[in-house]
Structure 1
């Protein structure tokens, strides 16, 4: 029996579905898949571009009605027949709004309405998404990565709630995908030197708002064949998007290329087969996913969906850990690094600096431990700086009685003073992913 793939896309506002996944949606529809788009809010807090519609800005109810019409038109352009808003007829979640932070990324607004999505209990949001999952029974689900693309609090909340919803739902989806764009792709999409950009009238970007990818990007979907549908869907969101040639701009007027490729990492479920990844990224969101097996729902009671968790940013404990470890390594390494054994080969004495080797091995092990434990270079670099500074202090006889511990005229001491920082610099360029943490 042939099973028709079913794919659910969960987005925060009308227009998000087209900007980030419009090509994938149109591609799936053209292939005969059943596609459902779930939109969490009606974008009540959006800014309005057309001058003739400026009166809608601040009119949350009025703008919501217009954006409902816009997304309906966009769905027709993409070929989607199933679209719904989160909460259905029982609950309305509203656009939380956002502010631009000094780093060029979005952050939560200073104030938001009581019904704001970001203010809602995450379990409540997740259970509403789970209800849609159980009703539609998707083989794959697509939503934002943990960074929300550019940090919008509603995008982040949708990511969190969708990730939690796969545990609440009775239906076991086969794969959870996150939209995640490579840094170089984001940079190129905003490049004002691209052919045709000068003709758009859009402003060049001063900073790239997209955040670096969170997960390992394993899917690179070519959507160039359906680019006209994606462009038409963008034009449908006229209150939020301006389109000119192969470019579009939001209310800030900053131009970017309409993407002809869309990228994804896997948050849970069936991985991409290694033989495919060995040759590069997978070409399709359903690559390696056996929808017939997902449809059968065999052994789901004892085999819950395995979720890959994105590493969190290091917290205060990580830096306390790195400080203590750095102090211990600095003291032990300084005490140890001058120890040698002299071996005579005939009449030639050979100095074996085993103390220095042991000290550097200790530093390498400690720094690598911090790097892999927190999947970040920051705690490791803190420890390396502490090792270097404290070792230098031990060599200052006027500060501490340590002239016999660090002898700057010896090569061994020079190597010990510089070695930990060199190790940290090398480790910083090594990408550590480790084994996926699952649930």
Structure 2
């Protein structure tokens, strides 16, 4: 089952603005170039903030089918991301599942993409996004669950962003301890999909650079930007995923 173009529709669920570009920007741009509908849910930050405007710029660079959907929760470490809103990890889980299910039933993606169960490097918002996405994927297909949220929709495959063990080993000598990098990555034989995004690297880099506020603030972003050419190229050129099919055969992301 595919979209009108013959390419599956893909919905990416990310915790914060910039995550979509840094971790999946090449895959998103590549999938869009193939004619696939690419949509994005961003769980934190709200319209009217600087980082929301930067996210819109990044989304245009990546070829998204529509403006990013903002769930409107606060970044766990940045309250001003959504003034007065509940932190993403503290909000009622059932409320969040219902909200994401409504978006899934409207967009009807064949593929959902989010972080692996460890959030790649243990960030609580990333871990929570994984749990939310998995729960919503299951709930969206159940007719008795929130019939007011639209007709049931069966997602075919889940893809979980991860970092290869070999990449961690290569980057570790060049990064400080506070950089967002896991202690150990995923062994190569466990990775289901490694996407070479070299043909979309320009779009990915322009999308990353759109997030000017985070680049100026984040020590990790500065550290990644200061990597020597070859390690930086390795980090930017390859995007890796674990895959879980929810129906026989699933759907191909790339």
TM-score using structure 1 length = 0.47
Aligned partner of 1:187 among 162, 169, 191: 169
Q: Is it true that 1:26 corresponds to 2:29 in the alignment?
A: yes
Q: Is it true that 1:234 corresponds to 2:208 in the alignment?
A: yes
Superposition deviation, residue 31 in structure 1:
0.9
Q: Is it true that 1:82 corresponds to 2:49 in the alignment?
A: no
Structure 1 residues 272 and 3, CA gap change in structure 2 (3 angstroms): closer
- Tell me which residue corresponds to 2:109: 138
* 1:205-239 deviation digits (Å, cap 9, x = unpaired): 24764234469311010001110110000110001
Please show how residues 115-194 of structure 1 align to structure 2 within 5 Å: 115-169=86-140, 170-192=152-174
- Tell me which residue corresponds to 1:254: 223
2: CA distance, partners of 1:250 / 1:81: 29
Structure 1 residues 208 and 117, CA gap change in structure 2 (3 angstroms): closer
Judge conservation of contact 2:8–2:252 (CA < 8 Å) in 1.
Answer: no
Judge conservation of contact 1:23–1:227 (CA < 8 Å) in 2.
Answer: yes
Bigger relative contact order (CA 8 A; separation at least 6): 2
Structure 1 residues 142 and 150, CA gap change in structure 2 (3 angstroms): same
Superposition deviation, residue 285 in structure 1:
4.8
Superposition deviation, residue 22 in structure 1:
0.3
Aligned partner of 1:35 among 30, 34, 38: 38
Judge conservation of contact 2:179–2:219 (CA < 8 Å) in 1.
Answer: no
- Superposition RMSD on alpha carbons, in Å? 2.8
2: CA distance, partners of 1:22 / 1:5: 17
State which structure, 1 or 2, has the greater radius of gyration over its C-alpha atoms: 1
1: CA distance, partners of 2:102 / 2:25: 24
Superposition deviation, residue 254 in structure 1:
2.0
2: CA distance, partners of 1:213 / 1:268: 22
1: CA distance, partners of 2:177 / 2:85: 34
Judge conservation of contact 1:38–1:86 (CA < 8 Å) in 2.
Answer: yes
Please show how residues 196-345 of structure 1 align to structure 2 within 5 Å: 204-206=175-177, 209-211=180-182, 212-213=184-185, 216-241=190-215, 250-252=218-220, 253-255=222-224, 256=227, 257=232, 258-269=235-246, 285-286=252-253
Superposition deviation, residue 267 in structure 1:
3.2
Structure 1 residues 264 and 185, CA gap change in structure 2 (3 angstroms): same
Secondary structure of residue in 1 paired with 2:169: helix
Judge conservation of contact 2:194–2:239 (CA < 8 Å) in 1.
Answer: yes
* 1:223-273 deviation digits (Å, cap 9, x = unpaired): 01110110000110001126xxxxxx9335323425101000013425789
Structure 1 residues 97 and 267, CA gap change in structure 2 (3 angstroms): farther
Structure 1 residues 9 and 2, CA gap change in structure 2 (3 angstroms): closer
Segments of structure 2 that go 5 or more residues without pairing to the other structure are 141-151
Superposition deviation, residue 114 in structure 1:
5.7
Segments of structure 1 that go 5 or more residues without pairing to the other structure are 44-60, 99-111, 193-203, 243-248, 274-283, 288-439
Superposition deviation, residue 2 in structure 1:
6.0
Secondary structure of residue in 2 paired with 1:40: strand
Superposition deviation, residue 85 in structure 1:
2.9
Runs of 4+ in structure 1 deviating by more than 4 angstroms, as ranges, are 270-273
- Tell me which residue corresponds to 1:94: 74
- Tell me which residue corresponds to 2:53: 69
Aligned partner of 2:19 among 9, 13, 16: 16
Superposition deviation, residue 69 in structure 1:
0.7
Judge conservation of contact 1:147–1:214 (CA < 8 Å) in 2.
Answer: no
TM-score using structure 2 length = 0.78
Structure 1 residues 129 and 232, CA gap change in structure 2 (3 angstroms): same
Structure 1 residues 268 and 208, CA gap change in structure 2 (3 angstroms): farther
